[in-house]
Structure 1
Amino acid sequence: MKLAKTYAFLKKDLSLIEDALEVSVYADQEILNEASLQLLKAGGKRLRPVFVLLASKFGDYNLEKIKNVASSLELIHMASLVHDDVIDNSDLRRGKPTVKAKWDNQVAMLTGDYIFAKALQQFTEIEEPRAHQILSHTMIELTIGEIEQIKDKYKVDQNFRNYLKRIKRKTALLISSSCQLGAIVANTDNKSEKALFRYGYYMGMSYQIIDDILDFTASEKELGKPAGSDLINGNITLPVLYALEDPLIHKELTNLFSNKKQVTSDAIKPIISKIISSNAIEKAKKVSDMYLQKAYESLQLLPNNQAKESLENIANYIGNRKI
């Protein structure tokens, strides 16, 4: 089953959010407008708006109100991607040139800042003070996650706790906040709101771990960027942490990372092959499955409806992505 089919009944509402996103990123300044539109048109799953809409289905579903939350969270996600591409010096995302590749780092960073600002401007339409507190906390943690990733680049000796904290900040919190904010603006009951938040958190953790696995197991065409990009950029992910338990892989990667200039796609291929042939992928998948199971358990606390079924189907899709 394709991901979009799991929430097909939201197609019309998501189309309206897509229109709202295009209006939101418009800028009078030509380069800023072109760069923002390029990022928007690059596509994406729009998972964060989907989670907002589905969570809202457990309360008073008012699309006009919910639309602002959904589009704001997607804008924040988009802005973080632009900044990520600068940090990682990435020329491709989803198979298309990044903003920094088409223009430069300065334009990319300013485009990201602009989109962040537009997200905040749009979110001012939401009156609930707690929603603003949650969004502020999420953005602070997202930024800390980015800084922590920069700090830990090319650092071989890391631990699992730091990795989990990093992906919580970089990925899981924005997804859990999408679920929670959708619940808040729809005035869902407290029990449902907490269950949706937990579901989003566990889904976000599982989703990022699977992404980190796919960086090794998927093709460049499937990834829309070179395979092994994370490791080439010095990012130590869960499969790498498990692989580093092998003294030979640990020694080889330590030697390679001792001089960043020698870390090229060709130089790192032998290490990537060793990681793939080890049991690191299998071990990482088990951790993802653990979080996925917790996401399913969180859903059991929610009333049965079409949205709950869609959340279950999304979890099935995420957990079974080809690795």
Structure 2
Amino acid sequence: MEFHEIYLLYRHELDRVERLLDERAHADHVDLAKAGRTLLEAGGKRIRPLFALICGLGEREWSEDVAKIAAALEMIHMATLVHDDVIDRADLRRGKPTVRKSYGNLAAMYTGDYLFARAIQLLAEVDNLEVHRLMARGIVLLCEGEIEQIEDFYNWSQGVMTYLRRIHRKTALLISLSCQLGAMVGGAPEREVAALARFGHAVGMAFQIVDDLLDFTGAAEIVGKPVGGDLRQGNLTLPALLAASRPGFGERLRALVREGMREEEAEEAIRLVVASGALADAERLAERYLEKSRHLLQAVNRETVREQLMGLTSFIIRRQY
């Protein structure tokens, strides 16, 4: 099943989640309201809500609790994006000015905090203690991942395992929670909930690796942000770390990517990463994570859910944005 087909199947459910986001992200304060509107209008793939809806509904009837889980997870994701843009000093997100660009760093930080608070407020309406326990633990790990990323800017001594631990916390965790909590609130059996949590983690790891590949290979007008943005900011992702281990590339790359590097040095560094062959190795790792995710789907008894999740995994490796 193709990605656009799956989106069409859940169009009405996603519209209801979008209305929840619009309602709950609203603020009486003028600047907060404008900043929240900027985020919502920027859109996004709504991958996390879609995973939650598929795992929580699938062959079942509509559930307001599943919708609340989906919307809360997306608000948490939106909050992390606002904070990331401040840390990265980013001016563009999805091809549009970031909240920090439009309203300043202080307003952006408080917008992110506000979205976190509104997400927790929405989750409080779901009467399931385990949901709250898992989400609280997830937010803690997410914050730790953000701090680790800041600490490792321009740090060439970090290894691939450090990178994998970081993207587990920053990206894979929320996708795993989307699948796990959606299935849990939707009434799936424990064995299936556990399998979907592991599936979401594997898919989330692949999703972030592909995102980091697109930072080097994607067209800026499609990706919605400048090519090589991570490297320019000192965020050393998998392609850069792999390239740095290659003879003939690593020494020059490490010398180029440092605080205060000039634009021409950044451009040379991007060319080195591409020429090193590291992108192909990173793509193979993403494919291995996706293969693992497909294997985990064997534990899901609902055929419709298996088919739809398989379609999403295929989209992730082929996506251009």
Same fold (TM over 0.5): yes
Distance 1:38 1:322, change over 3 A: closer
Tell me the SS of whatever aligns to 1:300: helix
- CA offset at residue 238 of structure 1? 0.7
Q: Which residue of 2 aligns with 1:156?
A: 156
Q: Which residue of 2 aligns with 1:305?
A: 303
- Normalised by the length of structure 2, the TM-score is 0.96
- Normalised by the length of structure 1, the TM-score is 0.96
Distance 1:2 1:227, change over 3 A: farther
Residue segments in structure 1 that go unaligned for 5+ positions in a row: none
Output the amino acid matched with 2:22. Answer: E
Output the amino acid matched with 2:266. Answer: I
Cα RMSD between the aligned structures?
A: 1.6
Identity %: 40
- CA offset at residue 60 of structure 1? 5.3
Tell me the SS of whatever aligns to 2:44: coil
Output the amino acid matched with 2:146. Answer: E
Q: Which residue of 2 aligns with 1:291?
A: 289
| Residue correspondence of structure 1 range 135-150 to structure 2 within 5 A | 135-150=135-150
| Residue correspondence of structure 1 range 1-323 to structure 2 within 5 A | 3-57=3-57, 61-258=61-258, 260-261=259-260, 263-322=261-320
Separation in structure 1 between the aligned mates of residue 101 and residue 2 of structure 2, nearest angstrom: 30
Separation in structure 1 between the aligned mates of residue 99 and residue 229 of structure 2, nearest angstrom: 18
- CA offset at residue 28 of structure 1? 0.7
Residue segments in structure 2 that go unaligned for 5+ positions in a row: none
Output the amino acid matched with 1:48. Answer: R
Separation in structure 1 between the aligned mates of residue 320 and residue 112 of structure 2, nearest angstrom: 31
CA contact (8 A) 2:91 2:97 kept: yes
Aligned residues: 321
CA contact (8 A) 1:196 1:298 kept: yes
- CA offset at residue 58 of structure 1? 5.3
CA contact (8 A) 2:256 2:269 kept: no
Deviations 1:2-29 (A, max 9, x none): 6332332111011011011100111111
Separation in structure 2 between the aligned mates of residue 138 and residue 210 of structure 1, nearest angstrom: 22
Tell me the SS of whatever aligns to 1:303: coil
CA contact (8 A) 1:156 1:253 kept: no
Separation in structure 2 between the aligned mates of residue 322 and residue 58 of structure 1, nearest angstrom: 27
Distance 1:7 1:248, change over 3 A: same
Separation in structure 2 between the aligned mates of residue 285 and residue 265 of structure 1, nearest angstrom: 27
Separation in structure 2 between the aligned mates of residue 201 and residue 61 of structure 1, nearest angstrom: 26
Distance 1:224 1:265, change over 3 A: farther
Deviations 1:192-215 (A, max 9, x none): 101111110000000000110110
Separation in structure 1 between the aligned mates of residue 5 and residue 149 of structure 2, nearest angstrom: 34
Separation in structure 2 between the aligned mates of residue 58 and residue 178 of structure 1, nearest angstrom: 14
- CA offset at residue 292 of structure 1? 0.3
Separation in structure 2 between the aligned mates of residue 194 and residue 235 of structure 1, nearest angstrom: 32
Tell me the SS of whatever aligns to 1:299: helix
Tell me the SS of whatever aligns to 1:284: helix
Output the amino acid matched with 2:275. Answer: S
Separation in structure 1 between the aligned mates of residue 284 and residue 153 of structure 2, nearest angstrom: 25
